Amino acid sequence: MSPFNKDQTILRDGAGYRVVRAIDTETVQLERQSDGLLSNHKFSDLLGEYVRGDLLSANDTKPVLRDAPTRKPARMDMLGEVAKHDTKRRIDYLVSLNKIGAFEMPRKLFMTAIADIARKWNEITPPHITTILRWKSKYQKNGNDIRAVFSAIDKRGGTGMSRLGSDVDAIIDESIEFTLDAQRCWSAEEIHTTIFLKIQKINTTRIEREWMKVPSLRTIQRRLASHYAYDVCVAKHGVKEAERRFADMGRARRVTHILEIVEIDHTPLDILVVDADGVVLGRPYATIALERRSRCVLGLHLSLAGHGTEAVFSALRHALLPKSYLSARFVDLNLEWNCYGWPTTVLMDNGPEFHAESVVDALLQLGIIGEYAKSKTPNDKAFVERFIKTLNYSFIHKLPGTTLAKVGKRIGFKSEDEACLTLEELDKKIHLWICNQYHLRPHRGLGKRAPISVWNEGACAFPPQLKMNVESIDIEFARLATSAIQHYGIDLNTHQYANSRLLTMRRSLPERTKVTVKWNAHDVGHIWVWDPNQEEFFKVQNKDEEYAGLTIDQARAVKKERAKGDPDYRMTRATAHAINNDITQTALKSNKPKERRRGARHANKTSNDHRHEPVVNRKVEVTEQSDEEQVSVSHCVDVEYGDEE
């Protein structure tokens, strides 16, 4: 289950290494390209370096993929049993004959092939060769639509045809349609009475031999029973309820290996979280990425700041990268979560954050196909929907502060009084539940196998790949914009960004050329600008350094406070971070739950706050060379790595 391919080239501390082979399931052998020195390394150590950005992969590909057009399936629901049998018989003849190439055979061999198929269907007299060719011609002339060969045997003999006069049928249909449109409840007796009165009124204007016959009550009951169930449901309960009851719940698309399809969706968790002082902040949103083949959780993001584009980026980033922070952040739990890697397809909801141009561009640049589930069709991504219910019902509802699924079930307690978990504590508990319970317990949809077992088996056959460096991932998972370069730099979101490289690049571009810009909504302190000459992104700092580290919403709030012209001199001299902290604390200390929720969103409290890589010390091997000979000397050099952004 090696994440590295044989002969793959990687960079460690600026030196190139070639992957020689996997020693065992935990160790890989590397060869330094400069001198051929062989060294053995643990997979866990290399993955930790990769997440911190110390190990770079040269496998940075960006394929552009397209969705294949699909065709609606043909259905035989409206056919009778005899017609269905005859239709299947016709299809079997065409498929079987085409499979053996009978249509290109001589006539005698063609008839022999037809006779062989007829014996399979226990037919004494097989269909004539002309009949077979007519079926094939119909199929081809209708654009290879199988409906062209559907049997019409049900239409023989007038089966299902009304024996009443056309004028009586019109009165029946009109009365039924009017009743269904005008009333929520009805009965066959009521409609029969209406029809009787209408016919009686018309008969008074006719001579006796032209009188219309009044249909029986049983006729009206049969007409109602033959009415489309969907239309009846619409009349009784409305379109929305009818769509829910008659939603297509067919089998979801099958997958053959891990990371073929990853489903992602948001949900508000049924629990209230508090801050460090025990003040209730509200219900956090969870953004979950679920791997369809193994049902393993690939990515998880918790947020009190809403479920926008940044939540999608954070969940996908968590899904792509190894969870190397577990050993440092949850030392006492000994958790293992080896699920990560590049999916082929990400199946998303139809929320505006998933349709955002930034998300579409990021997936394209990462070489991932982005698909959207059908509107109001949960079965398209049924596995993540089911996991969300499992998470809430099997785990969240057992925690203090749970709101349960419905208000009517909260009897005898108040969630606000029992809430005691912070967002960090909730994230820790969910990690524990996923790794030690959900991933390990038998899953009915997997044939009673544990999700992690299916993942490990699939990872041996299709090892997860690291296709792009962490810095590149962070750049792609940022908002997309275009902007012109002015003489003072780039003006974006009321902030100005500039450095020497940006102003130099402006000289080499045509006048009024707009460049591609990536900006992180969680930090307005910098942006990334695409250099069309070097074909790479480079970082440009905010000219006003005090806004570094603030989110876009926090920066706007600070500017709004300053624009009020507060007479307090201390406020005008306060830093942006101080003003932002004052705004946040004022909202969090409010007695109104709505204001506290707004304060939590403004503070941008998410699970990213406590998942960063810790500062570590690592020994770096330094090679010294003399004029006479090359001597390899290992120096113990302490190198500090800051928190991963």
Q: Does domain 261-461 have CATH number 3.20.20.80?
A: no
DSSP 437: I
pLDDT at residue 337 in the model: 93
| 545-558 mean pLDDT | 90
Which position has the higher pLDDT, 123 or 587? 123
- Residues shown for the chain: 645
| pLDDT tens track for 323-347 | 989 988 888 888 999 999 999 999 9
Instruction: Please tell me the least confidently modeled range out of 80-89, 318-327, 356-365, 527-536.
Output: 80-89
Distances (CA, A) of 15 to 30, 46, 55, 266: 12, 14, 10, 41
| pLDDT tens track for 585-613 | 888 778 788 888 888 888 888 888 877 65
| pLDDT tens track for 33-68 | 888 888 998 888 888 888 888 888 765 434 433 343
pLDDT greater than 60 at residue 641: no
- What is d(CA 412, CA 554) in angstroms, rounded to the nearest whole number? 39
Nearest to 550, CA basis, from 518, 580, 529, 571: 580
Q: Which long-range contacts (CB under 8 A, 24 or more apart) does 412-420 make?
A: 415/271, 415/272, 416/272, 416/280, 419/271, 419/272, 419/273, 419/274, 419/280, 420/274, 420/278
Q: How confident is the model at residue 570 (pLDDT cuts 50, 70, 90)?
A: very low
pLDDT greater than 70 at residue 616: no
* Phi, then psi, of 379 in degrees rounded to 5: -70, -15
pTM exceeds 0.85 for this model: no
Q: Which long-range contacts (CB under 8 A, 24 or more apart) does 599-602 make?
A: 599/281, 600/275, 600/281, 600/282, 600/304, 600/305, 601/304, 601/305, 601/306, 601/553, 602/553, 602/554, 602/557
Q: How confident is the prediction for the chain on average, in pLDDT?
A: 84
* Residue whose entry in the numeric block shows the structure tokens 């589930």: 373
Amino acid identity of 177? E
- What is d(CA 2, CA 25) in angstroms, rounded to the nearest whole number? 7
| pLDDT tens track for 148-166 | 888 888 777 665 667 788 8
pLDDT greater than 90 at residue 529: yes
| 361-376 mean pLDDT | 90
Cα Rg for the chain, rounded, in angstroms?
34
In three-state form (DSSP H/G/I as H, E/B as E, the rest C), the secondary structure along 279-300 is CEEECCEEEEEEECCCCCEEEE
Nearest to 348, CA basis, from 328, 366, 370: 370
pLDDT at residue 612 in the model: 65
b/e per residue 573-608 (b: at least 16 CB within 10 A):
ebebeebbeebbeebbeeeeeeebbbbbbbbbbbbb
pLDDT at residue 626 in the model: 40
